[in-house]
Structures are given as C-alpha cells and as structure tokens.
Chain A
Amino acid sequence: MNIFDVSFFAENFVALCRGIPLTLQLTLLSVTSGAVFAIVLASFRLSGNQVLDGLARGYIFVFRGTPLLVQLYIIYYGLSQFPELRKSFAWPFLREAYWCASLALCLNTAAYSAEIIRGGVIAVPLGQIEAAKAYGMGGLTLLRRIIAPQAFRLMLPAYSNELILVVKSTALASTITMMEVTGIAAKLISATYRPVEIFIAAGAIYLLLNFSITRLLRLLEYRLSRDRRPHQAATGEHA
C-alpha cells in the first residue's frame, strides 16, 4: 500500500463531489435566513432602545460564546427530548436533520453577521448622514439610499470571512447524519480505513468552494469600490 495512492484519491474525490449539493444547500439556506435575522438583530442593537439592545446583546453573547457543535446538539438531540415539542407544529421540521442543521447554522451566523452589519453601519461617515438629513431624507430613504450601500461595502470584507466560516461549519452537519462532503468522507473512511487520501480530497473540495466564493466576493467588492480607485479605472472595466 502506498502512502498516497493517486487513483484512489481521484476515485474518492468524485464520490465526495456528490456531497457538494447538500453542502451548498446548507450554506445557502443558513446564510440567507441568517442574514435576514442578522439585520433584525443589528437594528435592535442600533435602535437606541435599551430593551431591544439588551435582547440582541444577550442573544449575540450566547451564540458567539458557545460552540456551534453544542448548539447543533441542543437543537437536534436536546429539543427532541420534549414530548410536547414532538407533538407541536414545529416537529415536522425539527424531526429532519436537514432543518436542524440549517437552523443551527442560521442562528449561529446571524449572531456574527449582526455585529458585522452594525460595524458597517457605524462606519458610515456621520457627515454624510447629516447631509442626507439636511436635504430632507429620513427614515427608509436615508437607510436605503445612503446608509445601506455604504455599510454594505464597508462590511463586505468581514462578511466574506463569515461566509467562508459557514461553508466550513456545514461539516458539523455530518455529526447529525447529514451526508454532505464530510459525512460521505467519514463513511468512505470507515469502509476503507484509508483516511489520508479521503480527508485530503474532502479538504480540496472545501478549498475549491471557498476559493470560488472568495473570488465572487472580491469581484463584487471591486465593482462597489469604483470611488476608491483612480478616476481612469472608474470608467473602464478592469475585471
């Protein structure tokens, strides 16, 4: 037996690729729902209302301060211990490992993203907000036209980091029977007792996924930062 068998690696790489759709689904589902929840949390934090701020702070403290694996287990194994819950409307969802994993990832990423969004909003220069107010903008128009576009661009680097973390975190779904990339890897290893090639193949898949995500976000960042580049580059496309 070789230390590293290339054809065995290639064969398992293909097998692991079958887990990519599930990995991507979990990522997409938790990132979109997590972003919506994060906006709510961030607006609580920025509301100036002490009760709402306190609620959001508490939530963020708990979900950032505990391991995702623990959250996942509490949602999957913990909640199912209550017969009342098993009879409730939520059970058809919580019964499925798929929704439990998405929920845990969503709640977790929301806590981190809320702080990223808040940081982005705070970083918008106050003078520009004041100018908008002085020109009659208020409420939603101010948020939509002035604050959101700038905050979005300011938070993008930190948020791409968070996205990468979510992609990697989906691997934990394998602990609750999900057959995503890591789940399939674990199964292949137990059948072959050859962890080296299989884990390297799994690692390569995550690397490829994250590489594509980073590239996409960098392109977006480039498009949104025309004002930070010299004037010439602003008019032409240098992608």
Chain B
Amino acid sequence: MTIQTCIPAVEIARLEKSYGSLKVLHDISLKAEQGEVISILGASGSGKSTLLRCVNMLEVPNAGSVSIFGEEYKLEQRVDQAARVTDRHQLQRLRSQATMVFQSFNLWSHLTILENLIEAPVHVQHRNRKVCIAEAEALLERVGIADKRNAYPSHLSGGQQQRAAIARALAMHPRIMLFDEPTSALDPELVAEVLKVMKDLAAEGRTMLVVTHEMSFARNVSSRVVFLHKGYIEEDGTPAEVFSHPRSERFRQFISKHAH
C-alpha cells in the first residue's frame, strides 16, 4: 500500500510507442513513488527496454506523457511524424535527475575511470571539479574499484566496468536510477558483484527502475514487479503478490522458464 502524500518520482500516463507501423507499447500507465524499486520483467521483444528508455527520452513516445517529479517532458507528438522533444534545456535537466545504466556499460573509452565519473558533473552540471573528484573517489571506493581510477575502461573486466558505470550514474546525484539489463552482458561469475552494489543502492531508499532477467533481484530486492507482454502491462504488484499468485498465464510460464 502506498500513500499519495508526495509527488511520484516517475509518472507515465497513457504512453504509446511505435516504430513505423509496428506498435511496441500500448497505452502504458505506470507510477513510481519515491523510494520504490521496480523490476520490469518480460520476454525479449516485450517492450520493457523501450519503456525504460522512454523515461529519459532516449526514445520519444508517440502519445502519452512522462513526468519526473511532477515535471512533464515537453514533447511534440504528431500522428504522421516522428515525435520529438521541444525543450532541450528541460531535457538535459530531467535527464541528469534520472540517469541510466546500460547493458553494455557504454563507458567513454578515451577517458580514465575517474574522468568518466566527473565528466558529466563537471561539463553538464558545472559543479566544482575538485569536489567532483573527491566524490568520484569515494564512489569508486564504495563500488570496490578505487585502484582503477587511472585505468581506462578497456583495462577492466565486465563486472568492474559495470560497477564503474553505476558509480558514473551516482556521481550525477540522481534522484532516480534507470537500469537497462545491467547484468545481461556479464559472465555469470561477475553478475553477483554488480547485483550486490545494486542491492546496497536499493537499501538506501533510492528510486530505481530496473529492467532485468534476474529473478532473485526481482523477488528479494525490488518493492514492486511489473511484467510486460507484447507492449501491455500484464502484472503489477509486490513481489510477494505476483510471484505467489500470478494472474497471467504468460507470467506463470515466464517464471517457470527463468526459475531454472
């Protein structure tokens, strides 16, 4: 049960997204309250990544609205044309409040790990460089790769790179974090180190939207689970509710397939 006393961190209302004639998201409405950790599950092609990317406008929805802490993205949506963002300053502001962690890390390969962490804080948020460096060092310490501060991304293992990428997201002081299959590109033995970092973040009460295949994370860490199928939300509830009493037959199949 949630109490509607504060503004929701993310509010998605009647969102639709299509690529040409192919509609990938149908009439999606979803609210993430502050501090909620929502796992978004679904088979590949269900539209879960697209939904997440609509939250920071890496994909622009063709219809419907997205708000971050009550501020709605200003969009131009026309039936016959590609939708686009109209206010670039607002876009940049909202994006730095809801930062994304990618499946393939996407660290900037020409910068050291430390430089990766301070890049956006210094050049987008225009914060003091010295302060940013001190913070970045603390973050690297926290995700366990302080010794890699002067290394380049290509010198790190996948797990280390993803931890660096999470630290890069945290360096922005985001109020919301978006994770797009953060462990899918990792070797199985490296998954745990990344999940541990994510679990710690969840415990701090940060708002997180996580697209994942990790059932243990969805079950044990998240406060809410959303299941997408073919662009529709088919399940939405606490892990306890949806895992013990799935309403959708497809979700039941999905769990049994991923339970091993």
Q: Does B219 contact A (CB under 8 A)?
A: no
Cα A138 to Cα B110 with chains together (Å): 18
- CB under 8 Å from chain A, chain B span 218-249: none
How many chain-A residues does the 8 Å CB contact rule pick out? 27
**When the two chains form the complex, which single residue of B58, B100, B120, B150 contacts A137, counting CB atoms closer than 8 Å?**
B120
For residue B69, CB closer than 8 A to chain A, the reply is no
Given A127-B104, A135-B96, A137-B120, A227 and B155 touching (CB < 8 A)? yes
Contact A131 B108 (CB under 8 A): yes
Q: Which residues of A contact B95 (CB under 8 A)?
A: 133-136
Asked whether A136 and B155 contact (CB < 8 A) given A128-B106, A131-B106, A146-B108, the answer is: no
- B148: nearest chain-A partner, CB-CB: A231
B-facing residues in A138-162 (Cβ within 8 Å): 138-139, 141, 145-146, 149-150, 153
Q: Of B88, B106, B151, which one neighbours A231 at CB under 8 angstroms?
A: B151
Chain B residues near A138 (CB-CB < 8 A):
88, 91-92
- Residue among A130, A134, A226 with max Cβ neighbours from chain B (10 Å): A134
Report B-chain residues with C-beta under 8 Å of the C-beta of A133.
58, 95
Interface secondary structure of A, over-half rule: helix
Given contacts A134-B95, A135-B120, A141-B123, contact A234 B155 (CB under 8 A): yes
Q: How far is the CB of B215 from chain A (nearest CB, A)?
A: 26
A166, chain B: closest CB distance, angstroms: 27
Decide if A234 touches B102 in the complex (CB within 8 Å).
Answer: no
B154 within 8 A of A: yes
- Expressed in whole angstroms, the minimum distance between the Cβ of A157 and any Cβ of chain B is 16
For A225, the closest partner residue in chain B by CB is: B110
- Contact (Cβ within 8 A) A226 B104: no
Q: Quick check: A150 and B109 within 8 Å, CB to CB? A: yes
Interface flag for A235 (CB, 8 Å): yes
Task: Please name all residues of chain B whose beta carbon is closer than 8 Å to the beta carbon of A141 when the two chains form the complex.
Answer: 123-124
Q: Mark A213-230, 1 if CB is under 8 A from B, else 0.
A: 000000000001011101
Among B96, B102, B109, point to the contact of A227 (Cβ < 8 A): B109
Q: Kindly list chain A residues whose C-beta atoms are within 8 Å of the C-beta of B153.
A: 227
By a CB distance below 8 angstroms, the chain A residues around B124 are 135-137, 141
17 A-B residue contacts at CB 8 Å? A125-B106, A125-B109, A127-B102, A127-B106, A128-B109, A131-B100, A131-B107, A135-B120, A135-B168, A136-B125, A137-B123, A146-B108, A149-B110, A150-B108, A227-B155, A231-B152, A231-B155
Q: State the B residues within 8 Å of A (CB).
A: 56, 58, 88, 91-93, 95-96, 99-100, 102, 104, 106-110, 119-120, 123-125, 150-155, 168, 172
User: Considering the complex of A and B, which 3 residue pairs feature the smallest CB-CB distances, nearest first?
Assistant: A227-B152, A131-B106, A135-B120
